[in-house]
């Protein structure tokens, strides 16, 4: 008997993708950060995504419920950011253990609604059900984006430069609950015509880079000396013996934007840093060989590495 753990999350999604019915108004279906839907007579596209937060998986028991509620929404907003879009509406469905304290739910919504107000997202409905054991939430978000500003995973071409916002690794130490979805940054990169392909780093840098490469049928050459390693990655490395670089490349839940750009003039980087107050780093470029990732280290050795990151199964 083949189990989910043998097949893996991404093969599972592929299986489903092959079987799904798609009508003509579905511009992008399964396989990007969000679905892209056409609305008759509109130049704006609808973006639609959903993300889970499960107790014991996405947060530990005993966590501050305000942060859990915030994260439940922030994860979906990050998907909209990766398309260059603007979030508009949210639906929340909750699975609640029977004895759960109402106070916790109030705090969950307090965190959720605070972030929703910040980005002008309307909570328009949802569903509440009993969960036999652990708390879970599932947040669907509708957003919009201009037809010519929607950035997909499949837009990367040979010789594009590869960029990542912020710094990477060690998100588990706290960032995964506090991160600010890169909505303003994503919309700006799309509007200015800078990003050609984009994804949010949720599974891990290498794994998410792998998604871009797969959808674009290209490969990547990475300069490992350029990878922006976070302070948290260094702290984690001090504890578990992995290198800080490995944490930066493989840890999940950074929710930074990873994108390719055909812009030859890099002067936009200065404007970006000034406007948003966060780093943006060129970490390599796109190459022709599909799905290959070559890396150069501090000793100028070149070697092939495998896309790797957080796997759910």
Write down the least CB distance from residue 230 to its own copies, Å. Answer: 24
What DSSP state is assigned to residue 147? G
Beta carbons of 306 and 202 less than 8 angstroms apart: no
Closest to 125 in 3D by CA, of 94, 95, 90: 90
106 forms part of the interface with its own copies (CB under 8 A): yes
Size of the site for its own copies (CB under 8 A): 83
Residue whose pair of structure tokens reads 């957080």 in the numeric block: 310
Helix (H) or strand (E) holding 87: strand 86-96
| Whole-angstrom distance, CA of residue 296 vs CA of residue 298 | 7
Write down the least CB distance from residue 267 to its own copies, Å. Answer: 35
Interaction pattern, residues 9-48, with its own copies; x per rule: CB under 8 A: x--xx-xx--xxxxx-xx-xxxxx-xx-x-xxxx-x-x-x
Write down the least CB distance from residue 8 to its own copies, Å. Answer: 10
Beta carbons of 25 and 37 less than 8 angstroms apart: yes
60 forms part of the interface with its own copies (CB under 8 A): no
Q: Of the two residues 16 and 271, which places its CB atom closer to its own copies in the complex? A: 16
Sheet holding 280-287, edge to edge: 195-200, 257-261, 161-165, 280-287, 219-223, 293-296, 302-305
62 forms part of the interface with its own copies (CB under 8 A): no
Q: Which of 154, 242, 296, 312 binds its own copies (CB under 8 A)?
A: 312
Q: Of the two residues 25 and 148, which places its CB atom closer to its own copies in the complex? A: 25
Strand 136-146 relative to strand 86-96, pairing: antiparallel
Sites for its own copies among residues 118-147 (CB under 8 A): 120-134, 136, 138, 140, 142
Residue whose pair of structure tokens reads 């489903």 in the numeric block: 16
Sites for its own copies among residues 86-105 (CB under 8 A): 88-89, 91, 93, 95-103, 105
Q: Of the two residues 144 and 251, which places its CB atom closer to its own copies in the complex? A: 144
Q: Of the two residues 22 and 288, which places its CB atom closer to its own copies in the complex? A: 22
- Angle (CA) 286-288-294 rounded to 5° is 60
**Phi, psi values for residue 138, rounded to 5°:** -135, 120
Write down the least CB distance from residue 26 to its own copies, Å. Answer: 5
Write down the least CB distance from residue 137 to its own copies, Å. Answer: 9
Q: Of the two residues 100 and 269, which places its CB atom closer to its own copies in the complex? A: 100
């Amino acid at each position: 008997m083949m189990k989910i753990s043998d097949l893996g999350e991404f093969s599972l999604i592929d299986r489903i993708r092959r079987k799904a019915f798609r009508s003509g108004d579905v511009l992008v279906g399964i396989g990007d950060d969000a679905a892209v839907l056409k609305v008759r007579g509109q130049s704006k596209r609808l973006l639609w995504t959903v993300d889970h937060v499960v107790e014991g998986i996405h947060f530990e028991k005993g966590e501050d419920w305000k942060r859990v509620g915030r994260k439940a929404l922030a994860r979906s907003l990050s998907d909209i950011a990766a398309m260059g879009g603007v979030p508009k509406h949210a639906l929340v469905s909750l699975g609640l253990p029977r004895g759960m304290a109402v106070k916790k739910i109030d705090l969950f919504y307090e965190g959720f609604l605070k972030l929703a107000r910040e980005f002008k997202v309307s909570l328009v409905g949802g569903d509440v059900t009993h969960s036999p054991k652990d708390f879970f939430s599932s947040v669907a978000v509708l957003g919009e984006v201009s037809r010519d500003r929607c950035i997909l995973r499949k837009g990367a071409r040979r010789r594009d430069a590869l960029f990542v916002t912020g710094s990477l690794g060690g998100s588990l130490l706290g960032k995964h609950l506090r991160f600010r979805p890169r909505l303003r940054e994503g919309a700006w990169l799309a509007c200015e015509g800078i990003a050609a392909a984009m994804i949010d780093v949720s599974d891990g840098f290498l794994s998410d880079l792998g998604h871009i490469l797969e959808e674009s049928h290209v490969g990547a050459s990475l300069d490992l000396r350029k990878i922006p390693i976070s302070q948290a990655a260094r702290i984690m490395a001090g504890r578990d013996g992995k290198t800080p670089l490995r944490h930066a490349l493989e840890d999940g839940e950074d929710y930074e934007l990873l994108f390719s750009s055909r812009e030859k003039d890099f002067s936009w980087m200065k404007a970006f840093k000034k406007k948003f107050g966060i780093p943006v780093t060129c970490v390599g470029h796109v190459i022709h060989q599909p799905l290959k990732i070559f890396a150069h280290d501090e000793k100028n050795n070149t070697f092939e590495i495998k896309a790797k990151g957080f796997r759910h199964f």
